[in-house]
Amino acid sequence: MGQLIDGVWHDKWYDTAANGGHFKRSESKFRHWITPEGDAGPEGNSGFRAERDRYHLYVSLACPWAHRTLLMRKLKGLENIVPVSVVHPLMLEHGWTFEDDFPGTTGDSLYQNEFLYQLYLHADKSYSGRVTVPVLWDKQQNTIVSNESADIMRMFNSAFDAVGARAGDYYPAELREQIDEINHWVYDCVNNGVYKSGFATSQEAYDEAVSVLFNALDRLEKILGQQRYLTGDRLTEADLRLWTTLVRFDPVYVTHFKCDKHRIGDSLNLHGFLREIYQIPGIAETVNLEHIRHHYYRSHKTINPSGVISLGPAFNWNEPHGRDRL
Ligand SMILES: N[C@@H](CCC(=O)N[C@@H](CS)C(=O)NCC(=O)O)C(=O)O
């Protein structure tokens, strides 16, 4: 685990000491947009027109942020339009690697790099910053379009509609305000909240993060007791963003990140919601619990120095979800 500084890799864990024991996630640096005609998006440069087999997605199957993009890729039927490479689940002194000796990894099919940071250097040889997944790569300009999962989801949702994507809009105009509002607090309290709890290095930072997290989960449990999805009766991006955290919660976050006030399996509505989305055709294929469990328990040496993977609870996400009652 480390980062690039002026194009040079430095192996260093997150600096929580500088923030009173609090984990602070840094901002993504590549923020261009693929658009139907290649004009500039909300930020970044123009020149990234939606085309078949021009772009390539790099993911970890362990990572909840990368998982969001895989969900959207699946729902929009982009598998043949945007191919994918999968890194090795362990993220150690070289960061993410393309070792391919773990089932489900692919290596770097474009450039045969050994490490993901080499791809970042290919885009910008003096890059400074974290080397994160997901990465959306442009084979034409040889650069990173975006390393921000929230933006990649939006591009997948609509940019490729004229070049063969499946119909479906998970960010419909009439719900955008509501989706943005939900995303805002779900990101801060839940998606990032589990990391803030798990990576805290002071009692006060942990207490604060974990209490915010479980208050938000209680709020979500109530909302999902009254309606099928977070904005009402339609599945949207907001649901998908919450879901990738819920999938990892009982198998990993409860134990590894000390998010143990209660389990998702004990929450009637959140658990039903988790199972319903899991059962959407194609979605289960995006879930790889081996990558998830090996990544977290074996990569985070500061919080689990032995690398021992906990047993985890038994569960069956194929059981009837009962959400059709709403
Ligand atoms: N804002 C980014 C965050 C992505 C992110 O933090 N990914 C993690 C994996 S779960 C990562 O690659 N971390 C490596 C690092 O921080 O050095 C996004 O949502 O795309």
- Taking phi over 0 as left and psi of -120 to 50 as alpha, with beta for the rest, 22 belongs to beta
**Ligand 1 center to 26 CA (angstroms):** 9
Rounded-to-integer distance, Cα 309 and Cα 294, Å? 7
- How many Cα atoms within 13 Å fall on the side-chain side of residue 279? 15
CATH topology classification for 3-157: Glutaredoxin (3.40.30)
For residues 246 and 53, what is the distance between their CA atoms, to the nearest angstrom?
Answer: 32
Ligand 1, residue 28: give the atom nearest the CA: 1
Helix (H), strand (E) at residue 11: strand 8-11
Query: Which atom in ligand 1 lies closest to the alpha carbon of residue 68?
Result: 19
Task: At 156, give phi and psi (nearest 5°).
Answer: -65, -35
Rg of the Cα atoms in the chain: 19
| CA 56 to ligand 1 centroid distance, Å | 18
Longest dimension (CA), the chain: 55
Atom of ligand 1 nearest to the CA of 91: 14
**Tally: H helices and E strands in the chain:** 10, 9
Domain boundaries in the chain?
3-157, 173-280
Quick check: pTM over 0.90?
Answer: yes
Q: Domain 173-280, CATH 3.20.20.450 — does that match?
A: no
Binding site listing for glutathione: 96, 130-133, 148-149
Tokens of 214: 């479980």
Residue from 132, 148, 295 whose mutation best tests the ligand 1 pocket (most atoms within 8 A of CB) = 132
- pLDDT tens by residue, the chain, 326 residues: 799 999 999 998 777 877 888 888 778 899 999 999 999 999 999 999 999 989 999 999 999 999 999 999 999 999 999 999 999 999 999 999 999 999 999 999 999 999 999 999 999 999 999 999 999 999 999 999 999 999 999 999 999 999 999 999 999 999 999 999 999 999 999 999 999 999 999 999 999 999 999 999 999 999 999 999 999 999 999 999 999 999 999 999 999 999 999 999 999 999 999 999 999 999 999 999 999 999 999 999 999 999 999 999 888 999 999 999 99
The question of whether 195 is a catalytic residue gets the answer yes
Mutation probe of ligand 1 site: the residue of 5, 24, 65, 257 with most atoms within 8 A of C-beta: 65
Answer whether 81 contacts ligand 1 (Cβ < 6 A). no
| Contact yes or no for 309/296 (Cβ under 8 A) | no
Of 288, 173, 192, nearest to 231 by C-alpha is 173
In the chain, the amino acid numbered 176 is R
CB 273 near ligand 1, within 6 Å: no
DSSP secondary structure letter of residue 85: E
